[in-house]
């Protein structure tokens, strides 16, 4: 079982990372420190919109300055928020993230969503109809500014998140630097098999966010699925470990989020067992295209349709 994935620019990305979406201030710093120092994580997934990068930055600074962990041994991702797509804002946004995270480069910087919001104080500006207020910035312009970040050495790789196949097809027509990664929601209830296969063929690595079903109701999450529980019992593993292992065996990068030390440990103990082909298949069969993260709920945009 590989512990990392080679990206299309030959950079190496650890296959397991710690997610930080919805990790609150006051606990995210400790979680990041614990993951890196005690639980041997090599990869942290961040984003400016998570509003916790400053605290993560303090933890990273502590880890790199005092704990004998080298910056170059850790892979750190962040994401460009929707209000910053205008090329004149991209470098500024990246530099703010670098400042907050107390880093001089990112390993990976992603366009968080393929939608440009008007630049301003509100992170999610809505009009009277409840629709996101968009700005006329073509993705081509944003992507050009992302490519410049690589040229300037501020980021090692660039990629996208929440991109559908048609959005990728368009991006491929003008990208001089191909996206290294597409980060999308994947778990057994939203297995995204076709998009995963397409990305693999196009040499775009996939990161699965919300691999455990995020903050969905526990009864509705794949963690509570009887098939997942049965398979977990048979391996003397937990449902979370089965969900993560199912991704890693498909060579999908997984970023389970937790701020609890026992779960951070648990979610990393996924390299000492293997799911059989039959078990992989029965987990695939659970797919029902159910998303836990869908912006049509927040921005009035049927984004995935």
Q: Which of 41, 50, 109, 189 is catalytic?
A: 50
Contact 75, 17 (CB under 8 A): yes
Of 71, 235, 263, 290, the one binding ligand A2P by CB under 6 A: 263
d(CA 210, CA 215): 8
* Helices (H), ranges, 67-157: 87-101, 139-151
- Least distance in angstroms from the C-beta of 9 to ligand A2P: 27
Write out 155-224 in H/E/C secondary structure: EEEEEEECCCHHHHHHHHHHCCCCCCEEEEECECCECCHHHHHHHHHCCCEEEEECCCCCCCCHHHCHHH
Residues 209-248 that bind ligand A2P (CB under 6 A): 210-215, 223, 238, 240
Please identify, using beta-carbon distances, which residue of 64 and 209 lies nearer to ligand A2P.
Answer: 209
Residue from the set 82, 257, 268, 279 that interacts with ligand A2P by CB under 6 A: 257
Site string for ligand A2P, 19-58 (x = CB under 6 A): x---------------------------------------
Tokens of 197: 């296969």
Q: Does 258 bind ligand A2P (CB under 6 A)?
A: yes
- In the chain the first and final C-alpha atoms are separated, in Å, by 35
Please, which residues have CB within 8 angstroms of residue 38's CB and are 6 or more apart in sequence?
A: 261, 265
Provide the mask over 172-211, with x wherever binding to ligand A2P is found by CB under 6 A and - wherever it is not: --------------------------------------xx
Phi, psi of 276 (to 5 degrees): -75, 165
Is residue 174 annotated as a catalytic residue, yes or no?
no
Q: Which stretch binds ligand A2P (CB under 6 A): 95-103, 108-116, 154-162, 260-268?
A: 260-268
Candidate list 92, 233, 260, 281; residue touching ligand A2P; CB under 6 A: 260
CB of 77 or CB of 89, closer to ligand A2P: 77
Could you give the CA distance from residue 45 to residue 60 in angstroms, rounded to a whole number? 12
Residue 223: CB minimum distance to ligand A2P, A? 6
Strand partners, 187: 190
Helices of type H across 202-304 = 226-235, 239-248, 261-268, 277-284, 296-299
Residues 91-130 that bind ligand A2P (CB under 6 A): none
Closer to ligand A2P at the Cβ: 77 or 259? 259
As annotated, the active-site residues are: 50
Q: Which residues bind ligand A2P (CB under 6 A)?
A: 19, 210-215, 223, 238, 240, 256-260, 263, 266-267
């Amino acid at each position: 079982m590989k512990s990392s994935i080679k990206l299309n620019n030959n950079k190496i990305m650890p296959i397991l990372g710690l997610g930080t979406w919805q990790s609150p201030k006051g606990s995210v710093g400790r979680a990041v420190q614990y993951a890196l120092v005690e639980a041997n994580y090599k990869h942290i997934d961040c984003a400016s919109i998570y509003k916790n990068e400053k605290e993560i930055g303090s933890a990273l600074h502590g880890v790199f300055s005092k704990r004998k962990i080298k910056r170059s041994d850790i892979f750190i991702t962040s994401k460009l928020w929707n209000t910053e797509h205008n090329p004149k804002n991209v470098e500024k946004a990246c530099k703010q993230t670098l400042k907050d995270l107390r880093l001089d480069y990112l390993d990976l910087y992603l366009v968080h969503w393929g939608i440009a919001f008007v630049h301003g104080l509100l992170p999610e500006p809505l009009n009277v109809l409840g629709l996101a207020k968009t700005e006329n910035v073509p993705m081509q312009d944003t992507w050009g500014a992302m490519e410049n970040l690589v040229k300037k050495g501020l980021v090692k790789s660039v990629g996208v998140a929440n991109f559908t196949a048609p959005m990728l097809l368009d991006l491929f027509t003008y990208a001089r630097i191909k996206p290294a990664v597409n980060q999308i929601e994947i778990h057994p209830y939203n297995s995204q098999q076709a998009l995963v296969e397409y990305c693999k063929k196009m040499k775009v690595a996939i990161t699965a966010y919300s691999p455990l079903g995020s903050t969905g109701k526990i009864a509705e999450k794949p963690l509570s699925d009887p098939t997942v529980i049965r398979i977990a019992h048979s391996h003397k593993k937990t449902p979370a470990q089965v969900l993560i292992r199912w991704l890693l065996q498909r060579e999908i990068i997984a970023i389970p989020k937790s701020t609890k030390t026992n779960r951070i440990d648990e979610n990393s103990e996924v390299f000492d067992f293997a799911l059989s082909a039959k078990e992989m298949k029965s987990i695939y069969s659970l797919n029902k295209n159910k998303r836990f993260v869908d912006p049509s709920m927040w921005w009035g945009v049927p984004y995935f349709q």
